[in-house]
Amino acid sequence: MGGHLGWNITGFQVTSTNSVLSLTTLSPTVATGSQPKSLAEDSLHNFVLAVSFSGNPYFGAYIFDTTTAGNLDSVITSSTVTSPVAVAAQP
């Protein structure tokens, strides 16, 4: 069996120059549990929720960093519920 490579949420900035789109990776990335399977952002764009198939954490809640646009800060993690199926966000 191979080793765990790590799982992350990574943000990207999309820019357009002369109708050509390009992506720039934002950093830092935010670690999640193994095999993230669902992400949700609330309609007010205040937080992102993530659930993972296995690993630690199974659930993570993140807020957008106030000093660096696009970066996420981890605020809540939980490993008490195993194998969540999905996550949804509501304002």
The predicted-structure confidence for 21-46, as pLDDT tens digits, reads as follows 998 887 777 778 787 888 888 888 78
In a domain, 66, yes or no: yes
In a domain, 55, yes or no: yes
The number of distinct structural domains making up the chain is 1
Predicted TM-score (pTM) of this structure = 0.68
In a domain, 36, yes or no: yes
> In angstroms, what CA-CA distances link 61 with 3, 14, 15, 50, 86?
26, 24, 27, 6, 13
What is the domain extent for residue 73?
29-91
What number of other Cβ atoms are within 10 A of residue 57's Cβ?
19
In a domain, 90, yes or no: yes
pLDDT at 2: 46
In a domain, 24, yes or no: no
In a domain, 3, yes or no: no
Q: 20: which 2 tokens?
A: 């050509």
